[in-house]
Structure 1
Amino acid sequence: MTADIRELQRAFDEAELHADTDRLNALLAEDFMSIGEQGYLLDKRQWIDRHADFAYLSLTTTEVDVRRYDRAAIVRCVQNARATWRHDVMTLTVRVSQTWVELTDGWRLAGIQFSSLDRAALLGLT
């Protein structure tokens, strides 16, 4: 019952990895909102447009947990990524929460929130 949501989450990751702005436009709800790891907000247009300065070099998603409700689903996972922001390379390890909603024209990502994770804590070293 959650396989379709998991497939949408994978499609979103692929669109992000390849900066597929057309696919992102189709996957995101019109009122989409992102909350970044430092609390900043990006709406749908800002999220898509950030690919002018931001690019993934690699993106791996683990610990995927999908909770499906009537017309909504929450996906929680951990992402490990290498990316560039204005040509500066960075390594990111974040816990992600995605809120998917079923609209009349299909499932759309309505919200995403990121929280930084300490790699040592993930490995049980702290």
Structure 2
Amino acid sequence: MATTSAAEQPLLDLVREWSAAELAGDWAALGDLLTGDFVGVGPQGYLRTREQWLARYSSGAVRTTSFTVDEVRVRLYGDTAVLIAAQTQRSTNKGDNADGAFRFTLIAVREEGRWRLAGLHVSPNAAAAATP
């Protein structure tokens, strides 16, 4: 089992806060975690600005009943970090099934002493989907 360094712990805390906000659909909490120029890339390649990412929740379009993140790997580069993890969810988007297993890459930056998410890239996780 890998150990967590003191420098990595705030980033793991950020992932936990982000996961909890995504699960709860708490767009206000998410807004506090994202940089002003945040960009999310979805599993089909679409781009969403910070405002578009938050609007999925503030509008009620996305409803999530399960959001689990594991296998988090942290790479630090000064005031920037790259995190790669596995994620599964049970959710709907505008009433359509959005369940899935994904891999994501988060880009975090330290602003005024605090870590925030500047970017997110989501890809389908075929390896997890193939597991019985």
Q: Tell me the TM-score normalised to structure 1 length.
A: 0.91
- Secondary structure of the corresponding residue to residue 67 of structure 1: strand
RMSD: 1.3
Match of 2:45 in 1: 39
Match of 2:122 in 1: 114
Following superposition, the deviation at residue 57 of structure 1 comes to 0.9
Give the ranges of 4+ consecutive aligned residues of structure 1 lying more than 3 Å apart after TM superposition: none
Match of 1:99 in 2: 107
Aligned 8 A contact 2:37 2:49 in 1: yes
- Secondary structure of the corresponding residue to residue 30 of structure 1: strand
1:50 aligns to 2:53 (yes or no)? no
1:9 aligns to 2:15 (yes or no)? yes
Q: Tell me the TM-score normalised to structure 2 length.
A: 0.87
* Aligned AA (1:54): V
- Secondary structure of the corresponding residue to residue 81 of structure 1: strand
Deviates more, 1:83-92 or 1:41-50: 83-92
Aligned 8 A contact 2:79 2:109 in 1: yes
Aligned 8 A contact 2:56 2:62 in 1: yes
Q: Quick one: which of 27, 32, 45 aligns to 2:33?
A: 27
Following superposition, the deviation at residue 90 of structure 1 comes to 3.3
Match of 2:81 in 1: 73
Q: For this pair of structures, how many residues does the alignment match?
A: 122
Stretches of structure 2 that go unaligned for 5 or more consecutive residues are 1-6
Match of 2:71 in 1: 63
Stretches of structure 1 that go unaligned for 5 or more consecutive residues are none
Query: Could you tell me how far apart the structure 2 residues matched to 1:42 and 1:105 are?
Result: 26
Q: Deviations over 1:23-53 (max 9, x none)?
A: 1111000000001111100000000001120
Aligned 8 A contact 2:10 2:115 in 1: no
Deviates more, 1:84-93 or 1:60-69: 84-93
Identity percentage of aligned residues: 33
- Secondary structure of the corresponding residue to residue 20 of structure 2: helix
* Aligned AA (1:77): A
